[in-house]
């Protein structure tokens, strides 16, 4: 990644035209070819940018540009659309290159794997007196997140999502159909668990006899969520 602080002006041409007049800005030229133009304000969002696939090519400034004080010109062109970002550099105040290596990516807290682990440890949230049979209980079309038995020994299949929508209900319905063919499990109840369940998904689930369970992730971790409670 190359970081350049420069006095520059920027022109964008393509589906729209935009101009940034002369000012001191941060130019970020990333390893994927993209260029981002930042100011000292505006939070994280760049003033202008060119996303990959694109390429940067230096140009000699024109005669009028040289007279005006332009020392070099960058042209960044998008390979598919032909849109172009042209940066006129008057003075470079800082120029450095940095090898950041391979980034492992953003690791989100509260993903479905975390919810599954916590709910497996707290199966009483599903049904009082329930016991865990297995996480990732196999079926012919893939594993259902949790299989538990309630206090009377009845089987309950639980599908867990961060945001519950109709597709998740359909998925659980297919699991229930297959699990219901096992004489050791039938009849199998269904529980659709999520941090947020969309109204349409709730209607479909209840119409199919599937119980909905809203998960409070902070509460499951033992952290106050800030949601008002009666007790």
Average pLDDT, the chain: 92
Q: Where in the chain is the domain with CATH 2.70.180.20?
A: 2-97
pLDDT one-digit tens code per residue, 182-200: 999 999 999 999 999 999 9
2-97 maps to which CATH number? 2.70.180.20
| Pair 38, 23: CB distance under 8 Å | no
For residue 132, pLDDT over 80 is answered with yes
111-221 maps to which CATH number? 3.40.1350.10
pLDDT of residue 109: 52
pLDDT of residue 231: 43
Mean pLDDT confidence for 34-49? 91
pLDDT one-digit tens code per residue, 54-70: 999 999 999 999 999 99
Q: What is the DSSP letter of 111?
A: -
Alpha carbon dihedral 119, 121, 123, 126, in 10-degree steps, equals -20
Q: What is the distance of C-alpha 79 from the center of its chain?
A: 26
Q: Where in the chain is the domain with CATH 3.40.1350.10?
A: 111-221
* Nearest CA-CA partner of 191 in 140, 103, 115: 115
**Separation of alpha carbons 7 and 198, rounded Å:** 50
Residue 187: cis peptide before it, omega within 30 degrees of 0: yes
Mean pLDDT confidence for 9-20? 94
| Pair 22, 90: CB distance under 8 Å | yes
* Nearest CA-CA partner of 217 in 207, 228, 227: 227
pLDDT of residue 223: 55
Mean pLDDT confidence for 191-217? 96
* Nearest CA-CA partner of 87 in 18, 187, 158: 18
DSSP per residue, 122-151: TGGGTSTT-EEEEEEE--TT--EEEEEE-T
């Amino acid at each position: 990644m190359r970081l350049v602080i420069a006095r520059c002006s920027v022109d964008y041409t393509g589906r729209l035209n935009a101009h940034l007049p002369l000012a001191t800005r941060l130019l970020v030229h990333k390893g994927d070819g993209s260029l981002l133009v930042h100011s000292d304000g505006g939070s994280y969002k760049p003033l202008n940018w060119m996303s990959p696939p694109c390429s940067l090519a230096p140009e000699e400034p024109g005669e009028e540009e040289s007279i005006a004080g332009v020392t070099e010109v960058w042209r960044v062109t998008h390979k598919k659309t032909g849109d172009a970002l042209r940066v006129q550099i008057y003075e470079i105040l800082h120029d450095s290159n940095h090898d950041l290596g391979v980034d492992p990516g953003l690791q989100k807290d509260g993903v479905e794997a975390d919810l599954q682990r916590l709910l497996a440890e707290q199966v009483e949230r599903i049904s009082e007196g329930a016991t865990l049979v297995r996480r990732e209980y196999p079926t012919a079309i893939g594993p259902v997140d949790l299989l538990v038995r309630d206090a009377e020994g009845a089987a309950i299949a639980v599908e867990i999502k961060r945001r519950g929508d109709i597709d998740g209900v359909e998925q659980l319905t297919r699991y229930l159909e297959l699990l219901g063919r096992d004489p050791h499990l039938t009849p199998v109840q269904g529980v659709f668990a999520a941090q947020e369940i969309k109204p349409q998904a709730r209607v479909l689930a209840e119409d199919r006899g599937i119980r909905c369970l809203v998960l409070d992730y902070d509460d499951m971790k033992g952290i106050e969520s800030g949601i008002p409670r009666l007790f």
